[in-house]
Every structure is written in structure tokens, then in C-alpha cells.
Amino acid sequence: METLGRLRILALLSIWLTQVALPGAIASYSIGVGRADTTGPTAEIVFMGYAKIDQKGSGLHLRTFSRAFIIDDGEERFVFVSVDSAMIGNGVRQSVLQNLQKQFGNLYTEKNVMISATHSHSTPGGYMLHTLFDITTFGFVKETFDAMVNGITKSIERAHATMVPGRIFIGHGEVIGANINRSPSAYLNNPKGERDRYMYPVDKDLTQLQFIAADDKPLGVINWFAVHPTSMNNTNHLVSSDNVGYASILFEKTVDSDSLVGKGPFVAAFASSNLGDVSPNTRGPKCEFSGSTCSEQYTCPGKKEMCFASGPGVDMFDSTSIIANKIFKESWRLWQDGKRREVIGPLRVVHRYVNMVEQTAEYYNETTQKTETVHGCEPAMGYSFAAGTIDGPGSFSFKQGTTTANPMWNAVRNLLAAPTSEDIKCHGAKPILLATGHMNLPYEWQPKIVSTQVALIGNVVIAGVPGEFTTMSGRRLREAIKRVMNDASDDETSVIIAGLCNTYSDYVTTPEEYQLQRYEGASTIFGPHTLTIYLKQYQELTTAAILKKDIEPGPTPPDLRRENLLSFVTPVLYDTPKWNKNFGDCIKQPQKYARPGDIVTAVFVSGHPRNNLMTESSFLTIEKLAEDEVWIPVANDASWETKFEWQRTSVILGASQVIITWQVPEDIKDGEYRIRHNGYYRYILGGVFPYYGVSNHFQVITTRPKACRRRYYE
């Protein structure tokens, strides 16, 4: 690394040339935005996030989307993608890049494409390829993988096709009442002097990038706010983008009020940040049956009683809405607020693959008051990993904060792979439950090589990190990057942590948090100095970006797509309709009259939803009869007010039905409405065929004449 003196001189010269000598030359960028459907199978596939094998999908609450943003300063190009998914694996990213290469050659590469997952825990799994992440989903699920790859690719293609001259603005706000620290004891183990610098044990800051065309047309927005999308808890069985996904919908609908969800031109992303120890379940942990306070280790005395945190609402849907609205309202205030700073300056992007096991860094030990050389460990998960969190407790008798091994569990562990004495020493306070670094059957269990990436847009730094940084880990990373930036420029610097990017390597705690071995510490897979290594890595990346210096690409991660991927997910064999019925028949009709706030329900004979994922389409539409006798869709299966629930009525016969519900919005217009169901069935002799069905018409009445009151509503 160059000395800071040389760094300062070169960077100041660069900034002077671009911002003083050529005023306004890089105030205007080329900007493109795009969105595409990534919704995978909505039925009989285990969700990714809570690692609960009985949490299989049985329908759809909110469709998932990929939202892409392209920035070009005439010299370099950068793509940021936010995806409504639990994580992003290297296999997904490589498949996306290969798809883009077929169309655009070397325009989009590993260097300039950053793909970030929102971390929703209510989306289908089976796409990560690493064994540990796919084992709870019964292996690889091609339908999920393809839906994600195709959707991400399409969102970037659409962003590419819409590029226009534009400007970028940055704003900062604060969201209160939307997040808490779910591991407060670990946070309190950080130095008091450091903690005293911050008002809260979680980040309340919301950072917003606004994209405006040269003709002042709004193009899109990215918001970063630290919160887990776990408002929808592990009892949920409907695919959902959760709180941040709904916040995106609220923003997009506010700008494009006449468009159906996912169809308008404006693109709004609420992307993940340093959310590792941050929960949206603001009521905090309580024993789920008795309601009593949990123990210090977050356990409950009752038999099979879990320590569970809940959100602010009456149920998980209400909690999701409350958190989403809090985040959205602050982001909308920032959007309308004139107090924003224009982003001006060159665009520079750097990327490097890093083998974390082979890395070293310098660490100042407060106890010994000496600087020592530390290194990464072979990946391993600790005992407290199996305990889960207050957002989703684990199984068996595991407890958070476990720092002592159990001989029985060690014996079970050793049947899979025994850690070496070096592993045990390296991981320190962590008793190893799974020595994943030594587990390669049927293929690699966790990554050793991760993607690290930094994008500089003027004085805005976006650090794409390959995991879940805790609150204090993210703060330290921001400070480390700011030190490099401030040595290069006196201008105000904004550093954004973009979480869960490109590779997923679990959690990143501070060394102090690691010692307590809460869930996050037990899931910090490269050992107690994972963060120490990352601080060094991202300072090097930032330096290279400032100096526009080429860096080595690093070791190529193994391509698990070439493995013989195992899948134990049973296929759909055939569908048959209910006796004496046809596919699409409405067997339960909605009520004749409805008012705002009412829930309207219809039940249809259906095929299996996995026969066709209805990508860029919908399993349902709520339709209104227009004056010209044409039915106009007013809501679809991506709308908040609808739910699509699938039920198997006979496994042997392959018969099923769907329940469609619509909560009539408060701003609905009077008129005649109906519910439409679209689907596909698999014929027993081969082939998949479309069908549809419609319900009876019903009246939505927003006013209630006195003369009609008893007739309509008693």
C-alpha cells in the first residue's frame, strides 16, 4: 500500500482535476434503472433463512423483485442490484454474469457488478449451492435458482436499456422505533469509550441515493437501513419480501400510483446494510406461551417453550406493515426534502476475491497493550449457531452464549469432520459444532474464498461486504474507510455498507462481541479476527479505487455449478380437478357486497403453482368493471392487500385448491369487481396446460345510504 502522504497528494490532484479544473464535468452521469420478477416456487419448497425444514411455502403474500441501478461517468460503469432474497451465492452471480456476457461482452464483469440481498427470510431456498445453506431445503432447487438468475439478469438488461443523462443526490435521515439490538450483551462487550460515541446500540441512520434524469424526471432511489427482514416469523408459509420489500412497494406506488405493483417505471430499493444483530421485533424477547421474561441466555422454563421476539403489530403481517411504513415515511421525507447534497466526482470500482483462511492482519490487543499478527481460521460454526436467535429460535437444547463444548455433540460432530487442534486454537472462545472448513461431501459446505468490492462515486463509498456485519462491526468498517478517504480529501465523505453482497459467508462480529458467543459470534466463521482482516482488506480496496490502481483479482472460487448437485425435492407428477369440477372453477364465491377494510374471499379448483411460476405475471388479479364493459386489473399477487394460499386436497389424486383473499383498500372506488385466478395444470399423460377462472361479480360500496343499510349489511 502507498504511504498516506503519497495517497493524499495523488488523490487531491485527482479531485482537483475533476472537480475544479473541469467544473461540472462529472456532475452528470448516465443512469439506468430496471426491475424484474425473481419469485421462485411458492409451494412445497422450504424457505431460506430460519433453517426450519417444516417451513415450506404454501402460497404468496408479496412477489420478490430484483432492482438494478447502473451508473456511468463516461469512463467506468457500476451496477448495483438489490434482490428480495435471503442471500446471494457465488453460483447465482456467476450465472448472471455469464448471461450478461452473451449480450454485452465484457461490459459487465465481476469487477463492476455488485449484487446485494435484502435478507428476507420468507423466500424459497435451494439456490446457494454450498451444502450448509441448502441442506435444510432438501438440496438444490433448480426452479428457485433459475428464477433468481433470470430475474437479476433481466433487471440489469432493463436498466441498460433505460440509460439517460442524469444526476445523483445523497441524503441522510433517522428512523426511530423500527429496530432493536437482538444481542445487547454482546454489544455491551465492546469498549465503553467506543459505545459512548453513539446514541443507540443499533444504527438508526437511513442513507438515500436519489437518481434524477437531466430533464428532472425521477428515475429511482436506493435506501440503506440496518434491519433484519424478519417481521414475518418462522411460522409463516407465504412467500414474502417482508418489511423492506413492502417499503419498496410503498415508495414505487407513491411515485407511480396508477401502475400495478412491479409494473411502473420508477424503481425504489431498500437494501441491506450492517444488519447482523438488528431485529425489527421491537417488543423484544418474551417466553412465547407464558409471556414472561426470558433468561439471560434467552431461554424459557416451560417445556418446549421458546424465547421469541415479536414486532409492534397484532400479528406478523401487521408488524411487517408498521416497520415498512416507518422506513418508507422517512425515506419519502428525504426524497421530498430539498436538503440533499449532489454527488459529484469520478466513478471508480474495484473488486478482489480473498481466501480468508490465508489472510493476516495487525491487531492491537487492549489486554496486553501490544500489536500482534492475527490470521483467519478454517470455516467453522459454533454451538450457539444451533440455538438460533430471538427472531427464530433453534432446535434441541442449544443455548446462546455457549463457550463450553459438549462431549456428546462433539462425538456427533466428529462423524462428519473433526476440527484440528489448530482449528480449536484459532477459533478461541468458540466451541466448534461444525468444522465446515473440512467438510466437502457432497461438496463444499461453506465458502473460504469471498468477494470483496468497493465503489467510489465522488465522495460516496459503497462497500459491498460478503456477509452480515453487526452494528459495531459496520461502524468500525465505515470509520476505517473514512480514514483513508479523509487522508485523500477534505470533502465530506459518506460510507455505505451494502450487506450480503456477491458471496454469503455468514456473520462478522467485533473481536469483543465474538468472545460472548451469541448467535452472531458463533456464526462468524473465519474466527475472532474476521473483522480485523476485513478492515485491512477494505482499506486496501478504497486506496486502490482512489488511486485508480489495478489490483490482483485474487483466487477464483470453486464453481459449484459443475458439481453433481443433489436434490431431494419431489417433482409435480400430475394434477386432477375435484370430482365433477374443472380447473379454474370457483367453488366458494365472494360475498355480494363489500366495503373498504372488508376481506373478500374466493376458492378455486387449481393445479400446482410449481407448474408455472407466473413470472412477470400473476396467479390472481382483482378486476373492476369499467364503463366500456372491460375488466381492468386493480391489484395482483404482488399487492399488499392480496394473499394467494394453495392447499393440497388429495395427495393420491393430485387435487388442490387455492384460496384468494383481498382486503378492500380504504381508497377504493365504488363499482363492480371480481376475482380472477390464473394457473397451469399438469396432465397425467404429459404436458402442462393453462387455465383460468373468475368469481361472481360483487359490489364495492364506499358510502352506505341509510335506505340500503339493513339490506346490504345486516
Give 19-50 as a DSSP string: IIISTTTTT-EEEEEEEEE-----EEEEEESS
Give 111-148 as a DSSP string: TTEEEEE---SSEE---S-SHHHHGGGTB--HHHHHHH
Nine cell digits for residue 611: 407448474
- Exactly one of 279, 494, 505, 523 is catalytic; which is it? 279
* Residue in the structure block whose three cell numbers are 419431489: 570
Alpha carbons 75 and 77: distance in angstroms, whole number: 7
CA 570-575-577 angle, 5° bins? 150
Amino acid in the structure at residue 230 = T
Q: 371 and 384 in contact (C-beta within 8 Å)?
A: no
Distance of CA 398 to the CA centre of its chain: 27
CA atoms within 13 A on the CB side of 397: 6
CA atoms within 13 A on the CB side of 332: 15
Alpha carbons 616 and 270: distance in angstroms, whole number: 21
Q: 276 and 115 in contact (C-beta within 8 Å)?
A: no
Which of helix, strand or coil describes residue 336? helix
Q: 657 and 547 in contact (C-beta within 8 Å)?
A: no
The phi and psi torsions of 425 (rounded to 5 degrees) equal -65, -40
Nine cell digits for residue 686: 404429459
Question: Is the torsion defined by CA of 664, 667, 673, 679 positive or negative?
Answer: negative
Alpha carbons 610 and 615: distance in angstroms, whole number: 11
Neighbours of 429 (CB within 10 A): 15
* Residue in the structure block whose three cell numbers are 441515493: 209
Distances (CA, A) of 617 to 585, 614, 666: 20, 5, 25
Look up 279 and say whether it is catalytic.
yes
Alpha carbons 152 and 605: distance in angstroms, whole number: 33
Closest CA to 561 of 90, 87, 41: 90
Distances (CA, A) of 58 to 232, 608, 657: 14, 10, 11
Q: 406 and 453 in contact (C-beta within 8 Å)?
A: no
Helices 242-255, 316-336: crossing angle, 10 deg rounding = 50
Alpha carbons 285 and 392: distance in angstroms, whole number: 11
Residue 381 DSSP symbol? E
Nine cell digits for residue 136: 435444510
Question: Is the torsion defined by CA of 255, 258, 261, 267 positive or negative?
Answer: negative
Q: What is the dihedral of CA 287, 292, 296, 300, to 10 degrees?
A: -40
Which of helix, strand or coil describes residue 159? helix
HEC per residue, 448-496: CEEEEEEEEECCEEEEECCCEECHHHHHHHHHHHHHHHHHHCCCCCEEE
Helices 4-16, 530-547: crossing angle, 10 deg rounding = 40
Helices 90-104, 142-161: crossing angle, 10 deg rounding = 40
Which of helix, strand or coil describes residue 683? coil
Q: Which residues participate in catalysis according to the annotation? A: 279
